[in-house]
Amino acid sequence: MSQSKPRDPDAVHRHLRDVQRLLSRQRLVEDLVHRQTMPRHDLVESIVHRQHIARLRRKLDRLHPADIAWILEALPLEDRLFVWDLVKAEKDGDILLEVSDAVRETLIDNMDPAELQAAAETLDADELADLAPDLPPEVMEVVLESLDTEEQQQVRAAMSYPEGTVGSLMDFDMVTVREDVTLEVVLRYLRRFDALPDHTDKIFVIDREDRLRGILTLESLLISDPETEVAQVMQSKSLISFAPEDDAGGAANAFERYDLVSVPVIDAERRVIGRLTVADMVDYIREESEAEILSQAGLRKEEDIFAPVMRSVKNRWAWLAINLVTAFIASRVIGLFEDSIEKLVALATLMPIIAGIGGNAGNQTITMIVRAIAMGQVQPSALRRLLKKELGVATINGLFWGGLVGLMAWWLYQNPALGVVMTAAMTLTLLVAATAGVLIPLIRQRLGRDPALGSSVMITAITDSGGFFIFLGLATLFLI
Amino acid sequence: MSQSKPRDPDAVHRHLRDVQRLLSRQRLVEDLVHRQTMPRHDLVESIVHRQHIARLRRKLDRLHPADIAWILEALPLEDRLFVWDLVKAEKDGDILLEVSDAVRETLIDNMDPAELQAAAETLDADELADLAPDLPPEVMEVVLESLDTEEQQQVRAAMSYPEGTVGSLMDFDMVTVREDVTLEVVLRYLRRFDALPDHTDKIFVIDREDRLRGILTLESLLISDPETEVAQVMQSKSLISFAPEDDAGGAANAFERYDLVSVPVIDAERRVIGRLTVADMVDYIREESEAEILSQAGLRKEEDIFAPVMRSVKNRWAWLAINLVTAFIASRVIGLFEDSIEKLVALATLMPIIAGIGGNAGNQTITMIVRAIAMGQVQPSALRRLLKKELGVATINGLFWGGLVGLMAWWLYQNPALGVVMTAAMTLTLLVAATAGVLIPLIRQRLGRDPALGSSVMITAITDSGGFFIFLGLATLFLI
């Protein structure tokens, strides 16, 4: 028995390097032929060429679709399409599901309808529904027609649930049994399967009308006496199940909290219509946190790192536009005080310190509050308590850091009054930042909006304009 | 058979509200007694009091430890400790594992050594190792002594692996069989268990020296003929396993990519020493993305939202200090050009626009590169290609947005030369931002550092100081 082993989790990096090496050798041969630096012995060339391609193909045949997907993402466009052509057609569907949206587009753009149709037909109903929005409608139509009625209904059902719901993530593979049979019967029934659905850790126990009666874990199936009836060992109390309309984020929390592997999805009549697995939830959690990090940096969605320049520009312009508006407002606030700055130019030099630290402190507060809201742990009733705490933190930080910058201003410009204004402005700005950092997400929550969306832009806009106004305003009142 | 159902994933919110209602009634009674507005009928008071407490206790008894942990996090300190006292002691250990670090501290601070010891003794070796750093050393010593030698070794082993490795996350519960027995024997063996370890989806097949020979999935155990030998149905090729020193992030990627539920952890001699499950990985993925989001906002770690003010100040000061240094440097850069600003005060008004948009564009670039590196998809060889692309994006953005702000400056100050300087400065600043955004993470990667750490601070420092310098410098050269 061989002990072949992709033991280390970084095996995929090695695979990528192998593919890149084969590609570059391949390119070298083409290059030589093209430049005619080597006499064009067609025979030699085509043999070397074919050898490389054969090795690359063998390499790809051995790889898991998820690994191929990852390698495709890491390759520049021309290499990506070259490799994509060498991949076995039966893996195409799985790979299309695994790659990022941006890379999927580049692959689908380079497939003809027949290839796409063949790829789509290898997929399960729920997978097909995931891929559907990216497929040309005419391909989707042909594929749908090739399915039986039940599968067609499943695809349509899966597509009917909006993104971010349990229904859009569920699959339709499951094993069900009745409660009045013995475990021996269940064991014999399972032996008739060629394979069980992925992540089967429990069997759903249903009645004649497909209604969920309980769940039979594989554990209890295995450790109990085969003569026992299903009804005696199944769990029927405090069953965890989801409705297809449920929020996927809530479901992910439940998977995390109760360490679940698979959960039945039931309709309003308690009929089992699908199943949610931990694999879907792991992908969901990853994608959500990706999306959050990207949106904080002002990227609309994940970028293909080898995307053409114009596509990247499009992905980034919206945020820059918003930023331009807020920066322009802040600039006009400064404009109000141009006379003061002309008289005391140190104000121009010092003002970015106030705005910068204010923005930072505000972002700390808002991030903490947004996270607590996302965890569901902040009720509107906590408002006063949170505000009190954040204002306390802001006062301490304001007096300490403000005092420090005040001393620096005094020392740099030999102007003690300027130092005092600096300290006061810093403290006030931090108080404004703390108040906005607590109120913005709580108000958005109460209005039923996503408290996270654009929170960083809003708080920075407030602390910039607010910080400039407070500092220049105080300076105009007391120094000019 | 009852169909009791915490059906919706938000059930825990309802539980929290129930607890809060009971707590506030409880407080009302105490308040009345305390203020003596109600004649102090000790008897009446103590009955009402006891009723409320009994209901709260019953409520808590029915809840999953993870739900209680979540509720404790959502309660202010005094309520939290009140509820904590009512929780059944046997759940204490599990709850301590589930709560956030900050809240765990508050709970442990309020337990005496005997309680802590009792809580710790309910835990498995790997769980105990997780909790150990937060326990007083003398409690840990007593608990360790109460374990048998094997468990003591397991705890010590788990504690010996640094955070972020597979070894620090693995558990020691698993089912192992020999390859020369029939499935029937395995089935009979399993029936002797009272329970299987959580997330058992496969049984590890080992030889006499505990070395991994293959894995027997529950699926193949269930669908195959019981007369078959284990060796015939076990998987022994391309087995996925980890070493305890492996990076947990890599392991999480493998779980995500190959949809795994449990994976054996083996030592250098291929001896099975532990097991990693998807539940550990889900927690790990969540914690990592949390940590990333928090550190981007300059929070050292997750905060207890009801933490005392000084603890929050400590969690946040480091970032503010760094920010003060970078803001001070930017301020000194402006200081170099005070003469120019005195002559043309519009420069002070317009300069934050350049720095602001430069910072934004730089953060977009660096976030994208950092993410691609984290996915392992960027080799140093891609440097030139990425740089070319980002400089292309920066040129387009610079000319477009720079042109826009240039027109605004011209219109506001009736000074076309100022507009041209604005456009040029914006374009140059975006080019600097793009270059730094590509180079910083790639250089940090080559030096073997974490490319993400502090990337946002660094790029903002460069675009602030750089933007001010470029704009004011160009203005001094051409306008003054």
pLDDT digits (tens, 9 = 90+) for B419-470: 999 999 999 999 999 999 999 998 888 888 878 777 888 899 999 999 999 9
- What CA–CA distances, in Å, run from A291 to A285, A315, A452, B373? 10, 13, 11, 17
pLDDT digits (tens, 9 = 90+) for A19-45: 888 887 777 666 655 555 555 555 555
Q: Which long-range contacts (CB under 8 A, 24 or more apart) does B104-112 make?
A: B104/B134, B105/B134, B106/B77, B106/B80, B106/B81, B106/B304, B107/B72, B107/B80, B107/B81, B108/B134, B108/B135, B110/B81, B110/B84
Residue A170's pLDDT is 94
Q: Does the domain spanning B309-478 belong to CATH 1.20.1730.10?
A: no
C-beta of residue B344 within 8 angstroms of C-beta of residue B465: no
Within an 8 Å CB–CB cutoff, is residue A358 touching chain B?
no
pLDDT digits (tens, 9 = 90+) for A419-435: 999 999 999 999 999 99
How confident is the model over A281-293, as a mean pLDDT?
87
pLDDT at B34 over 60: no
Secondary structure (3-state) at B52: helix
Within an 8 Å CB–CB cutoff, is residue A357 touching chain B?
yes
Q: What is the DSSP string of A299-359?
A: -SSPPPTT--HHHHHHHHHHHHHHHHHHHHHHHHHHHTTHHHHHH-THHHHHHHHHHHHHH
pLDDT at A188 over 80: yes
C-beta of residue A422 within 8 angstroms of C-beta of residue A350: yes
The DSSP element (H or E) to which A122 belongs, if any, is: none
The pLDDT-based confidence of B15 (bands split at 50, 70, 90) is confident
The DSSP element (H or E) to which A288 belongs, if any, is: helix A278-296
Residue B42's pLDDT is 58
How confident is the model over B125-130, as a mean pLDDT?
90
Residue of B nearest to A226 (CA): B191
- Alpha helices, H only, B87-177: 89-98, 101-109, 113-120, 125-131, 137-145, 149-160, 166-169
C-beta of residue A273 within 8 angstroms of C-beta of residue A265: yes
Within an 8 Å CB–CB cutoff, is residue B473 touching chain A?
no
CA distance from start to end of chain B: 88
How confident is the model over B249-268, as a mean pLDDT?
92
What are the residue boundaries of the structural domains of chain A, listed by start? Answer: 11-164, 176-296, 309-478
Task: Say yes or no for a CB contact (<8 Å) between B378 and A74.
Answer: yes
The pLDDT-based confidence of A9 (bands split at 50, 70, 90) is very low
The pLDDT-based confidence of A241 (bands split at 50, 70, 90) is very high
The pLDDT-based confidence of A49 (bands split at 50, 70, 90) is confident
Task: Say yes or no for a CB contact (<8 Å) between B222 and A218.
Answer: yes
Residue A32's pLDDT is 58
Task: Say yes or no for a CB contact (<8 Å) between B363 and A214.
Answer: no
The CATH code belonging to domain A176-296 is 3.10.580.10
pLDDT digits (tens, 9 = 90+) for B78-122: 889 989 999 988 899 999 999 988 899 899 998 988 899 999 888
Residue A74 to residue A12: CA distance in whole angstroms: 11
What ipTM is given for this predicted complex?
0.83
CATH topology of domain A11-164: MgtE N-terminal fold (1.25.60)
The pLDDT-based confidence of B202 (bands split at 50, 70, 90) is very high
Residue B9's pLDDT is 47
Q: Which of A205-209, B97-101, B339-343, B352-356 has the lowest mean pLDDT?
A: B97-101
B437 contacts in chain A (CB < 8 Å):
none
How far away is chain B from the Cα of A137, in angstroms, using its nearest Cα? 29
| CB-based burial label for A471 (10 Å; 0-12, 13-18, 19+) | buried
C-beta of residue A356 within 8 angstroms of C-beta of residue B464: yes
- List, as ranges, residues 302-331 from B with C-beta within 8 Å of A: 302-303, 305-307, 309-310, 312-313, 316-317, 319-320, 323-324, 326-328, 330-331
Residue A287's pLDDT is 87
Which segment, A80-89, A391-400, B78-87, B122-131, is predicted with the most confidence on average?
A: A391-400
Residue of B nearest to A72 (CA): B377
B282 contacts in chain A (CB < 8 Å):
255-256, 259, 278, 281-282, 285
- List, as ranges, residues 411-430 from A with C-beta within 8 Å of B: 412
pLDDT digits (tens, 9 = 90+) for B349-407: 999 999 999 999 999 999 888 888 877 777 767 788 889 999 999 999 999 999 999 99
The pLDDT-based confidence of A372 (bands split at 50, 70, 90) is confident
